[in-house]
Amino acid sequence: MSSESFFTSLQEHYKKEFPFVAYSKPKSFQIRALLQKDQTLHKIEDYSESGFVFSPFDIRKDALLIPLSMSKTLMTEDDVFIEDFEMLKDISVGDKEEHLSLVNKGIKTIENTDLSKVVLSRMIENNNIKTDPFLIFKRLLHTYNSAFVYCWYHPKVGLWLGATPETLLEVEGNDFSTMALAGTQPYEGIMDVIWKEKEQDEQQIVVDYITSNLDSFTSNLEVSKAETIRAGHVLHLKSDIKGRLSEHENGLQKLIYALHPTPAVCGFPKIDAMQFILDNENYNREFYSGFLGELNREVKVQPRTGKLNIENRAFTYNKRASHLFVNLRCMQLKDNVIKIYVGGGITEASNPEKEWEETIAKMHTIKSVLS
């Protein structure tokens, strides 16, 4: 359908206060949507469900689902056009002293305990900002094509938007891939940059954590060399990790629980870092640094071509595929209030002033689409 008809359908669904999600995958110009047919709040039981999952940071709380079987599916066929606009200039950047105090406490805790890394975040609340969520969504699509861009709504939860650069997990059949993403520096026009020891160590912590956690129920693990990637106004270090699930029963659920939350959004060791966050951040992250995406979608797979199976090339078979992303660079909209969430990884080598500046740089992802 045309993008105009697509957004008209979204707006009508939203006015009726029915749940929906609209999203675009990285480097794709197609937008998909699931429009739920009732107002039920569906919850994940064991990750055998099919639809769109939206999970909070706190692993003890319920992950939510927009079920494929109870939703209407929409897809666009053309590009979304938006007009130029002026960026909002007077948006709050939050309390600097409060964040510096939190970072200093994190550094001291790392120096005196077994904690190696903790990811500390903050929420910046801006009141009396009248804005159209669908216009923000269009701007995110236009500005951050290399990210996973989404707009998610449930009347019993609220409306969230974001543009995240980080894949949590991609699965097709029993083959999976994930990434280790950490380290941040501002993008200043070049990709060939030098990474300091602090950022390299931070990224290696994520790699080591993921591979060690997956070792007991996966096989054929491969880790790529770290490379620099761009996410809007900032750069990160990324390594790709892939392998194969070695067991079938609840394999996807085990894989998700092993990965989430990663050291890139929580810290290491995971339990210690999570407890520090819950005790000291003094706000509820909710779905910030949780995960979201397609869960158990049926995809058609064609056999490989070749002399031995040339007769079977016309046949296809179905596999279940999931593509989940970490919910970074996001915001929540409610009653003319915009809540923006940003954070950064803290290690023993962290500099509180630099960490503050990093959160300001990450704010540009959201600030650049507000007017």
| Residue 311 reports pLDDT greater than 60 | no
Domains of the chain, CATH where assigned: 3-367 (3.60.120.10)
Distances (CA, A) of 331 to 45, 230, 305, 314: 26, 20, 45, 45
Among residues 177, 111, 184, the alpha carbon closest in space to that of 323 is found at 177
> 103-112, 150-159, 167-176: lowest mean pLDDT where?
167-176
Measured distance CA(212)–CA(127) in Å, rounded: 44
| Residue 312 reports pLDDT greater than 70 | no
Residues 6-33 have pLDDT tens digits of: 999 999 999 999 999 999 999 888 999 9
Among residues 36, 321, 63, the alpha carbon closest in space to that of 174 is found at 321
| Contact indicator for 207, 242 with CB cutoff of 8 Å | no
Q: Which position has the token pair 């209030």?
A: 337
Residues 251-274 have pLDDT tens digits of: 899 899 999 998 889 998 899 999
Over range 174-203, report the average pLDDT. 88
- Phi–psi pair at 30, nearest 5 degrees: -95, 135
Predicted local confidence at residue 110, as pLDDT: 96
Predicted local confidence at residue 155, as pLDDT: 96
Alpha-carbon dihedral of residues 351, 357, 358, 364, nearest 10 degrees?
180
| Contact indicator for 333, 135 with CB cutoff of 8 Å | no
Among residues 121, 148, 233, the alpha carbon closest in space to that of 185 is found at 233
Among residues 65, 62, 50, 253, the alpha carbon closest in space to that of 169 is found at 253
Distances (CA, A) of 97 to 89, 94, 168, 177, 343: 22, 9, 32, 39, 15
Residues 31-82 have pLDDT tens digits of: 999 999 999 999 999 999 999 999 999 989 999 999 999 999 999 987 787 7
- Pairing assessment for the beta strands 291-301 and 117-126 based on DSSP bridges: unpaired
Over range 313-336, report the average pLDDT. 84
> 81-95, 289-303, 317-331: lowest mean pLDDT where?
81-95
Predicted local confidence at residue 277, as pLDDT: 97
| Residue 87 reports pLDDT greater than 70 | no
pTM of the predicted protein model:
0.87
Predicted local confidence at residue 210, as pLDDT: 86
Measured distance CA(258)–CA(324) in Å, rounded: 14
Predicted local confidence at residue 150, as pLDDT: 98
The amino acid at 302: Q
Percentage above 70 pLDDT, the chain: 92
